């Protein structure tokens, strides 16, 4: 213990506590500035290519333009009312709803069924490779391929060269205008999308199935669980998080579907969807107000799906 000199107070001998701040505060300031320097490029890109265009699109959605694309004035909610009252635009929304239900159910459902059927069999690699090949083809190329599959030659004008109609002709069935007949056109386009994306869903779901412990499967078999019970009561619940991710991905893809429709039909024959309609109104017809309103509606439709997915992922992280 230090000796206290005469006339010296104990406080001067005892070690002084370091006051918070000073150098530590300066270090924190330097760290925060260095962090801002690193994230600045990302923030600038976000502001320039997302926030600013979004604000501009929202403003345009409340304005009207003439045939030359000049803004004529503020019209409030008129563009949005037109979307929900114009027969052509209502048909576009209806098509998007059909796409959302059928394309999502078929891609995820077929992917799940195929993944379960080919799991742990000798030809698994071959089947998965064949089904995944369409993912290596761009949607534009896939659309061109399927235009030849759906090709239709009116009766009496020559031989059928479309693969599907030629196949039906072997059984005496009459050829059909698959992509120009409004009864079949939208469903024919959905088949193309399912052909492209089923392999993706299958591969992701198959990886999740292989993560199920063998002990669980064996215990279920010993308890007398049949194949159907094992599928619905054990496999599906255990791969639930993966199914959620796949469904979310498909929903977002379907809501903004563009390339398949644009390449095969161009939105004609009653096949238009929101993304193609937005492109036509904004870039071809110079109707920036209607086009911007369609883009905002599409964004509003996609945002809840993304929010649900983010919340689900955070809930999963908390349970780990």
For 39-93, how does the pLDDT look when each residue is reduced to its tens digit (9 = 90+)?
Answer: 889 999 999 998 999 999 999 999 988 776 677 788 889 999 999 999 999 999 9
| pLDDT for 106 beyond 50 | yes
pLDDT in tens, 193-222: 999 999 999 999 999 998 888 888 888 888
The whole-angstrom separation of Cα 196 and Cα 178 is 18
Give the least confident one: 120-129, 197-206, 263-272: 120-129
The whole-angstrom separation of Cα 205 and Cα 243 is 7
The whole-angstrom separation of Cα 297 and Cα 194 is 25
More confident: 157 or 39: 39
In DSSP notation, 17-28 reads: PPPSSTHHHHHH
Which pLDDT belongs to residue 155? 64
Give the least confident one: 18-32, 50-64, 105-119: 18-32
| CA atoms within 13 A of residue 5's CA, in its CB half-sphere | 3
More confident: 292 or 228: 292
Over residues 232-236, mean pLDDT: 87
* 287 Rama class: left (phi>0) / alpha (psi -120 to 50) / beta: beta
Over residues 1-5, mean pLDDT: 48
For residue 124, the tally of other CB atoms under 10 A from its CB is 14
Closest CA to 104 of 249, 204, 240: 249
The whole-angstrom separation of Cα 205 and Cα 236 is 10
| pLDDT for 2 beyond 50 | no
- Hey, which residues does 71 pair with through a beta bridge? 65
| pLDDT for 260 beyond 90 | yes
Give residue 1's pLDDT band: very low, low, confident or very high (50, 70, 90).
Answer: very low
Instruction: Quickly name the fold that domain 78-319 has.
Output: MetI-like fold (1.10.3720)
Which pLDDT belongs to residue 314? 81
Which pLDDT belongs to residue 228? 83
More confident: 65 or 255: 255
């Amino acid at each position: 213990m230090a000796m206290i000199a005469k006339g010296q107070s104990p406080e001067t001998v005892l070690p002084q506590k370091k006051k918070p701040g000073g150098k530590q505060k300066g270090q924190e300031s330097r760290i925060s500035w260095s962090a801002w320097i690193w994230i600045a490029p990302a923030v600038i890109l976000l502001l320039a290519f997302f926030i600013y265009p979004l604000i501009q699109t929202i403003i345009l959605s409340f304005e009207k333009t003439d045939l030359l694309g000049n803004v004529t004035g503020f019209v409030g909610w008129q563009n949005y009312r037109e979307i929900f009252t114009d027969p052509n635009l209502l048909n576009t929304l209806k098509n998007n709803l059909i796409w959302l239900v059928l394309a999502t159910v078929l891609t995820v459902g077929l992917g799940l069924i195929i993944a379960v059927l080919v799991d742990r069999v000798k030809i698994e690699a071959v089947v998965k490779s064949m089904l995944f090949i369409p993912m290596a083809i761009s949607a534009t190329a896939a659309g061109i391929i399927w235009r030849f599959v759906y090709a239709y030659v009116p009766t009496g004008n020559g031989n059928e060269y479309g693969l599907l109609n030629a196949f039906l002709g072997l059984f005496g069935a009459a050829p059909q205008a698959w992509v120009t007949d409004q009864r079949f056109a939208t469903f024919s386009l959905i088949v193309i999308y399912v052909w492209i994306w089923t392999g993706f869903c299958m591969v992701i779901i198959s990886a999740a199935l292989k993560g199920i412990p063998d002990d669980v499967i064996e215990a279920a078999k010993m308890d007398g669980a049949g194949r159907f019970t094992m599928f619905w009561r054990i496999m599906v619940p255990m791969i639930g998080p993966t199914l959620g991710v796949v469904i979310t991905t498909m929903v977002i893809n379907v809501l903004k579907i563009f390339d398949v429709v644009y390449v095969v039909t161009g939105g004609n024959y009653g096949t238009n969807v929101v993304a193609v309609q937005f492109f036509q109104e904004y870039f071809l017809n110079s109707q920036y107000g209607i086009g911007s309103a369609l883009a905002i509606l599409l964004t509003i439709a996609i945002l809840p799906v993304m929010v649900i997915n983010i919340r689900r992922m955070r809930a999963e992280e908390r349970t780990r």
